Each structure stands twice: as C-alpha cells, then as structure tokens.
Structure 1
Amino acid sequence: MLDTLIPFSKELETIDQRLQLSGISRRSFLVFCTSLMVAAPFGLALTDKASPEAVAAVLGKVVRPPIIWLHFQDCTGCTESLLQTSYPGFADLILNVISLEYHETLMAGSGLQARQALDEAIQKYAGKYILVVEGSIPTGAHGVYMKSGGRTAMEVLADVGGKAAAIIAIGSCASWGGIPSADPDPTGAVGVADLMPDHSIINIPGCPPNPYTMLGVVLQYAADGTFPETDEQRRPKFAFDRDIHEHCPRRAHFDAGNFVKVYGDAGHREGWCLYEMGCKGPDTHAGCSTRHFNEIPDVWPIGIGAPCIGCTEKAVAFKVPMFQVVQLHTIAAPPTSFAPITTTRGTISPLATGLVGLGVGVLATGGYVASRQFSKKQDDESAPGSRQDKGTGA
C-alpha cells in the first residue's frame, strides 16, 4: 500500500527555487543541510555517509509539499513541539521548506474565513497535499462529541483525508487514540488509521513527538512519493526502531541493580535507574534517548529525572499505571543489588601474628647491629695514624 503513493506535481515550487527567491545563499543552505536533523535519515538513502553537498543536491530539488493540518481531540502539544524547531527555525520551516496551507492554531482567520481557506486549499491541491492530523477522532454517539462547521470530526476527516495524497497522524492521539482513549473512553476516541485503514497513513506517536521525525517523513514523501519503511504499527523505523532502554544514560545503573526508590533520595540525585519508579523505557520504542527536544541535552523525561511513560506505545501509554513496573520482554531482569567489589578476607591467628612479629624483630635487630658495625668501621678508618689518614696527609 505504501509503495504506490502518488508523487507531487513538478509544477509546484521546489525548495531550491523558494530559497533563491528568499535570498538565502548556497552556503546557508549547506549549513541548513548539515544541521537539519532529518537530513540523517534522508541522506542515508544516498550513502552511509552522505555529505552536505549530496544531501543539498537532492533536498533542493524536492517540491515544497503543501500541508493541510487538522485538529481534533488534542491539546495542541504536537503543534507546540513543531514551533520549537531550530534547524530550520519555524519561520523557515513553514515559509521555505514546506507550504503550510491550513493550520487552525497558526492561521489568522477563523470561522467562515477559515472554512473558505480550507476549501480553497483542498481544491487547489487535491490529490497532491499531505494531510497532517493532530488529535483523536471521537466516534461515540455518532461523533456528537466534536463538530466543526456543522460537520462531525469523522465527516471532516473523510472529506479532507479522502482528497489527500497521504496522511500523517502526528502524536499518540491521532495515531491510536492517546489520552482521550484512556478508560473509560467516553468519546470513543480512535486514531486516523482506525477510520481510514486502506489509505496511505503513517503514524508518528509521542506526547508530543519529535518534530524532526515528521519533517523527515514529509521530505522523503515529497522527494519520491514514498514513506520511510514502517513497523507493524505504521511507525517509521528510522525513529522507532529501538527501545528507550538501549541508549538510556541510566542503563549502567539498571545493569548494576542500582535503582531509585523514592523521588529525591540519594539514588535519584545521583542519576540511578528509574525502572522501579515505573519507567516504561524497556518496553517503549522511540528515539528520545538519542534525539532530545529543542536541541538541548537532557530535554526529555528521563533526562530531567522523570520516568518514561511509554507515550509511543498503544498498549502502554495511558493504560498501564504510571508507577507500575513493566514486564521485561527483550532484556534480562536486573540484578537485585550492586555486584560486590571487595575481595574475600580471612582471619589472622595469634600464632601467625607472633611469628610475623618475631621475624620483624629479628630483621630490625640485625639491621641495627650491621649499622653499628658499619659506623665503627668508618670511625676507625678516619682516625689519626690510620692507613687512610697516611695516604691523604700532607
């Protein structure tokens, strides 16, 4: 299904063309390609060590993808994450890299103006735009829990999603229901793929997800009309191919059996493992431990001393209690304590102590006698009338 996507029309503006119109130099573009985190998976398609020039050559020819962004049952956290991008900055992102045609949080228009903007974007780019969905879709009582312009969320999704070239479900809510789907789930919240299983959809779960993951997916699709390789949950493998535990900076403490017992205890202050505090890292596939937020070291839950809640896992997040320890599936159980580092010591008997003392006494006495004899010999040789004295006299 994901191998038959429709590439964008070349009539649209490329990133290179847009950057030239904006007066951005080639040098700046190369820096952009070097620093852009999404250039890693994008460049790896070329070679294992793609140079900035190689990435720029491909990235520059990419047609700026038109994006329509819809909000359903969400907290806008995914949009907030997008606003914090640094390479590129948000202004460059929406003006030069992608073409953000509709976004209810960021646009100035509202009401009738917003609806007209949406209709115009759909008509202009029908079959060419990428639909990004943020938030879960309520299905309970025939969708009565959410309406926009007189239409239920299900109707809006069917209309806008049906004309999209592809759909990206951004965040855990859009991927599989997220927080709104937690028990007792009064709204019947579901993810996009639950309602459009046969459409070209890729899930980028997280609460919130890393925005560069979405940008990497968008650029690859814009380049050749394909999505990155995905796992069984439609997540891109380049971002969800490992569990948090594999590269957690606290992993050594897990292996040594060194665990935080209470927030603020000595182990917590020393950076010990948070597994016994309910950390879901061993059962959570995500890149948080290696791709920190806002390009700032340790800006992710475990980095600030909080356990992972498994927000990218449908079977874990908002279903397993926060402080409940998860079952270990892919790794061995941790030891119960630190391995001992002291050697085995025996006791010394009084007889052995006496023999050692006697030996030390003999050595000390012999040394004293030898020193006295050496001193006497020195005195005799230097006395007046001695052979040494005659040989050196005037």
Structure 2
Amino acid sequence: MGAATETFYSVIRRQGITRRSFHKFCSLTATSLGLGPLAASRIANALETKPRVPVIWMHGLECTCCSESFIRSAHPLVKDAVLSMISLDYDDTIMAAAGHQAEAILEETRAKHKGQYILAVEGNPPLNEGGMFCIDGGKPFVEKLKMMAEDAMAIIAWGACASWGCVQAAKPNPTQATPIDKVITNKPIIKVPGCPRSPK
C-alpha cells in the first residue's frame, strides 16, 4: 500500500496504538473543536477510511526558517507528522531526491493526486523580470507555483513570507516579491504567518 493511500488509523495501529486510545483521541478532538456528541464517531470513521492527505511543500523567496522550525518540532515530532499524520510526498529541502529525480516525484504526485493534495508554500514568488529572481527546477518559481496550485485542493501559505511578503517584499522591493494570495486567487488559501512559524 502506498504512503498516501494508507489511512491514519492503519499507521497508528502499526505503531502500537490501541483502538481504545484511538477512540479517546477522536473524542478529545471532537470536544476540543466544540463539536456535538456524534462528531467523535464521524472523526473515527474518517480516520479509519480516508487516506492520509498528500502534501506538496514548495519553497520560493525565503530563508527556510519555517522549515527549520518545523523539523525541530517536539510536539508533534516531525517524524510523527510526516510518517503518520500526512503524506509529505515532496519537499525539496528535506527529501533525499534532488534534480531530475525530485522533479519526477513532483510531477508524479501531481498527476496521481490531482485535486486531492494540499500545496504548502513557504516563501513567495518574485514577479519582476518574468520571475527570474527565483528559479526552481529550471523554471521561474511563479510558473511552477501556478502550475501546482492549479491541481491542489487547497493551499497553505506557511510563514510570513508566503502570507504577507515579509522582508523580501519590503520597499523598494526590486524583485516584486508578492504574497501567495495575490498570485493564486482561485483556490482556498490558509495563511499561517510567523517568522519562523511555530510548528505546534
């Protein structure tokens, strides 16, 4: 079974979590979200039957402090988040593959999970000079961002750079660094600002 087709429940069972603990987790989740009494069983059903969500994590103009913060997280540990909660299929900062292999993984993930993946974006695209101030895989980052956003179900603007522009967008902004929501306007975008963003 591929990583993205595994359910959250099958992963935690393999790690030795009991069914009782799983249902306790679902009840606590429902309670903390202020949901009704039937929500715990709905959460349990979703975690037992729905595959983990594939995530593509891209990097534009940034200093990588958000990724650095994420990989040093203690609650949850990054290994638990990446191996149990989500299916992080592409992140060129922490993945072993590079170059053509990384690009192939990105394209394969996009094709296989069209309309089903979350696109997490750290950093922002520069628009001046046709985007030539940030090249990723031989293409301007802004082009790659638009291409990957087209097939994403939702986008997370991770950190201040992606959410608001941050230092790169400070005046006089010669690169025309631009927040994600000003470039991608046809998809739901969740802004998670911070510099660095707390991974908790």
Q: Output the TM-score relative to the length of structure 2.
A: 0.85
Matched, 1:43 2:32: yes
Name stretches of at least 5 consecutive residues in structure 2 with no aligned partner: none
SS state of the match for residue 193, structure 1? helix
- Counterpart amino acid of residue 76 in structure 2: P
Q: What aligned pairs does 1:54-69 form with structure 2 within 5 A after superposition?
A: 57=44, 60-61=47-48, 63-69=51-57
Distance 1:156 1:54, change over 3 A: same
Given the alignment, which residue of 172, 175, 191 partners 1:184? 172
| Deviation at residue 139 of structure 1 after TM alignment | 0.7
Q: How does 1:346-385 map to 2 (within 5 A)?
A: none
CA change 1:115–1:58 in 2 (3 A) is same
Residues 300-349 of structure 1 deviation map (CA, whole Å, 9 limit, x = unaligned): xxxxxxxxxxxxxxxxxxxxxxxxxxxxxxxxxxxxxxxxxxxxxxxxxx
In the alignment, the residues of structure 2 paired with residue 207 and residue 59 of structure 1 have an alpha-carbon distance, to the nearest angstrom, of 33
The 3 A distance-change label for structure 1 pair 74 and 199 is same
Residue 143 of structure 1: aligned partner: 131
Q: 1:94 to 1:73 in 2, by over 3 A?
A: same
Gaps of 5+ in 1: 1-10, 213-394
- Match of 1:25? 18
Amino acid at match of 1:64: R
Retained in 2: the 8 A contact 1:77–1:207? yes
Counterpart CA distance in 1 for 2:146 and 2:98 is 21
Which residue in the other structure is 1:165 paired with? 153
In the TM superposition, residue 77 of structure 1 has moved relative to its aligned partner by 1.3
Secondary structure, aligned partner of 1:96: helix
Name the SS for the 1:190 alignment partner: coil
Deviations 1:41-68 (A, max 9, x none): x831414xx8xx7797367345311100
How high is the sequence identity, in percent, across the aligned residues? 39
Deviation for aligned residue 1:19: 1.6
1:231-246 equivalences under 5 Å are none
Report the residue type matching 1:134 in the other structure. E
State the one-letter code of the partner of 1:140. Answer: N
Whether contact under 8 Å (1:43, 1:55) holds in the other structure is: no
Number of the residue aligned with 1:268: none
* CA positional deviation for 1:24: 3.0
Match of 2:85 among 97, 101, 106: 97
Alignment length (residue pairs): 194
The structural deviation recorded for 1:33 is: 6.5
1:120 aligns with 2:108: yes
- C-alpha root-mean-square deviation of aligned residues, in Å? 2.6
SS state of the match for residue 57, structure 1?
helix
Contact 2:26/2:44 (CA < 8 Å) preserved in 1? Answer: no
Question: What's the offset of the Cα at 1:150?
Answer: 1.8
**1:202 is the counterpart of 2:190:** yes
| Inter-CA distance 172–55: structure 2 relative to 1 (3 Å threshold) | farther
Aligned residue among 16, 32, 37 for 2:9: 16
Amino acid paired to 1:23: G
Deviation, structure 1 residue 89: 1.7
- How far 1:91 sits from its partner (Å)? 1.0
Instruction: Confirm whether residue 74 of structure 1 aligns to residue 67 of structure 2.
Output: no
Letter in 2 for 1:57: A
Check conservation: 2:55, 2:117, Cα contact below 8 A: yes
Following superposition, the deviation at residue 32 of structure 1 comes to: 6.2
| Alpha-carbon spacing, 1:29–1:75, altered in 2? closer, same or farther (3 Å) | farther
CA distance in 1 between partners of 2:165 and 2:45 (Å): 36
Q: In 2 relative to 1, CA 67–28 (structure 1 residues): closer, same or farther, beyond 3 Å? A: same
CA contact (8 A) 1:30 1:56 kept: no
Specify the SS of the correspondent of 1:105.
coil
Structure 1 residue 29, shift from structure 2 partner: 4.3
Find the aligned partners of 1:123 and 1:158 in 2 and give their Cα distance: 15
AA partner of residue 144 (structure 1): M
Deviates more, 1:87-96 or 1:133-142: 87-96
CA distance in 2, matches of 1:33, 1:74: 36
Richer in strand (by share): 2
Distance 1:108 1:209 in 2: 24
Give, in angstroms, the shift of residue 187 of structure 1. 1.0
